[in-house]
Amino acid sequence: MQSYIASFDIGTSEVKAALLDRHGRSSLEHSIALTTFGDDNGAFEQEANDWFHAVQRIAAGWWRSGVAPNRIAVIAVSGQMQNFLPLGRNQAPLRRAVLYADQRAQPEAREINARYGADTLARELDNPLTAASILPKLLRWRSESGPDFQRLRHIVLGAKDYIVLRLTDSHITDRTNASTTGLYLPGADAWHAGLLADYGVPLASMPELRQAGEQVGAVTALAAGQTGFATGTPVLCGLGDAGAATLGAGVGRAGEAYLYLGTTAWLAHLAPPGAAAADRPVFTLAGVAAGLSLRAAPVLNAGNILRWALTLVGHRPGDSVADSFRLFAAELDGAEVPDGLLFIPYLHAERCPIALPAPNGALLGITASTTRSQILQAVLQGTALSLRWCAELLGMQSAAPLTVVGGGVRSEAWLQAIADTLELELLVKPDAQMLPLRGLAALAAVELGWVRCPNDFLEAMDGTVAATTTWRPRHGERHRIRSKFEMFKRYAAALPTLADEGGPIAAWPRLAEPESISRC
């Protein structure tokens, strides 16, 4: 009898899921959109129950399609990391989950860094402590919610951990997700008990650290009633989405790299463990490949900037996004970005390559002959220049092709702009959106004894989908790109200072290098 791995990815914009058989064939792929609650103060929240409802709805669809629950051999879940979700009794959320992109805990992050020394903390944690870290978010919540803090039983640190908790009653997390929290000491493989104690946060509220491929429990009778999964179905620990995407991209050796291009993005490569610096906003993630760290540059302004640019071709709420992307592609019509035209893509706060607590976007060097096509092309180039800066911060040396994952691969013009700007060949798999699900399933296939290592399963899967597409950089662009990149870094770094002084336009005359403004 055929059995399946049920693989779920709790993404930012949607929950994706698929059933995979032992030959790597994927079926009954589903996705359900999620609502994000935000405001102008940098809020970025979701209802944890929406994640669970999406899992329930997807499972219900499988049962309606005739899949018998007892054919699910194992459930594996990955998802967004750096979530802060406090739970009270009976796993009831005490507030909405505060997501990785939420920027409101800046003062709390500053206070913690000042108290311990940002560099000392970054060395201990192997990661910088920022407003996205868990402790600053928790302190902010405590100061606002008061008595709710007394009801705190568990702190959930990732979207998939909440799903695992609801399915099994096990409060766990994996080391990849733990690395992003600002509370995990990779050297000791333990939570930072001192930091928690200093701020009065009970160590007992933290999840247990487990291996990603480990079975951490089984579907409880309550969860079986809520989802239709059979009671006792094994559930794996799973891992944060950056780890799952790494496995899915087939990246497993030192120096190998990939790019996740979604609503947000990250550029990541595997490297020997090394000291983190507080002034480098890149993550060092444990638990992805033995003896290696995943160094990841998390970028908040990526696919969402293309979505914004759709408004320049007339996209309005309710219009088909796919149709507007077609209009966008047609409008580009081979346009080149003039040397003086520069788009700085930080229309939202940013984490990497530059930490910006507030939006700092700009379109510079526009003249009476600038066309809309050139502006659209500059938008693509601006996001690509930001990624090049990330590559520089990560110290990526390799000229080997870069695998690209995520829904952004649907934009061919964007891929070409990124290949030109990074001066790297890009490899795009046709099922790029599903790579986190594939990586997770490969991990589960090892746990089930179907294959010996994840790559055996991925290769079987590759046999079931069409060939990889390659995007080559246009080397004629090299010189222009390099000088544009230097210009990009200079202006992107200058804009926040100008905003502090009362806004970029008012402050332009105060720039130190007026001649470089006219070049722009």
* Contact status: 36 vs ligand ADP (CB under 6 A): no
Contacts of 98 (CB under 8 A, 6+ apart): 44, 45, 83, 84, 85, 137, 141
Q: Which residue has tokens 């959320």? A: 93
Tell me how far CA of residue 385 lies from CA of 195, 328, 377, 516, in angstroms.
37, 20, 12, 18
* Contact status: 304 vs ligand ADP (CB under 6 A): yes
Which of 180, 304 has the CB closer to ligand ADP? 304
Total number of residues binding ligand ADP (CB under 6 A)?
18
**Residue span binding ligand ADP (CB under 6 A) among the ranges 36-44, 108-116, 299-307, 366-374:** 299-307
Site string for ligand ADP, 197-216 (x = CB under 6 A): --------------------
Which of 138, 441 has the CB closer to ligand ADP? 441
- Smallest gap from residue 34 Cβ to ligand ADP (A): 9
* Contact status: 406 vs ligand ADP (CB under 6 A): yes
The residue within the footprint of ligand ADP, chosen from 52, 84, 325, 457 (CB under 6 A), is 325
Which of 299, 492 has the CB closer to ligand ADP? 299
The residue within the footprint of ligand ADP, chosen from 168, 263, 381, 386 (CB under 6 A), is 263
Which of 319, 500 has the CB closer to ligand ADP? 319
What is the rounded distance in angstroms from the CA atom of residue 112 to the CA atom of residue 253?
35
- Smallest gap from residue 115 Cβ to ligand ADP (A): 34
Smallest CA-to-CA distance from 279 within 123, 385, 104, 82 is with 123
Q: Which residue has tokens 């990009």? A: 488
The answer to whether 463 and 24 are in contact (CB under 8 A) is yes
Which of 201, 306 has the CB closer to ligand ADP? 306
**Residue span binding ligand ADP (CB under 6 A) among the ranges 7-15, 189-197, 245-253, 472-480:** 7-15
Q: Please tell me whether the peptide bond between 234 and the residue prior to it is cis, using omega within 30 degrees of 0.
A: no
The residue within the footprint of ligand ADP, chosen from 11, 182, 234, 248 (CB under 6 A), is 11
Q: Is 505 exposed, middle or buried (0-12, 13-18, 19+ CB in 10 A)?
A: exposed
Site string for ligand ADP, 431-470 (x = CB under 6 A): --x-------------------------------------
* Contact status: 179 vs ligand ADP (CB under 6 A): no
* Contact status: 243 vs ligand ADP (CB under 6 A): no
Tokens of 444: 């589960």
Sheet of 257-261, strand order: 283-289, 292-299, 265-271, 257-261, 402-405, 426-428, 469-471
- Smallest gap from residue 321 Cβ to ligand ADP (A): 5
The residue within the footprint of ligand ADP, chosen from 158, 248, 262, 353 (CB under 6 A), is 262
The answer to whether 5 and 19 are in contact (CB under 8 A) is yes
Strand partners, 93: 87
What is the rounded distance in angstroms from the CA atom of residue 474 to the CA atom of residue 186?
41
* Contact status: 12 vs ligand ADP (CB under 6 A): yes
The answer to whether 149 and 137 are in contact (CB under 8 A) is no
Strand partners, 184: 191
Interface residues toward ligand ADP, by CB under 6 A: 11-13, 262-263, 303-304, 306-307, 321-322, 325, 406-408, 410-411, 433
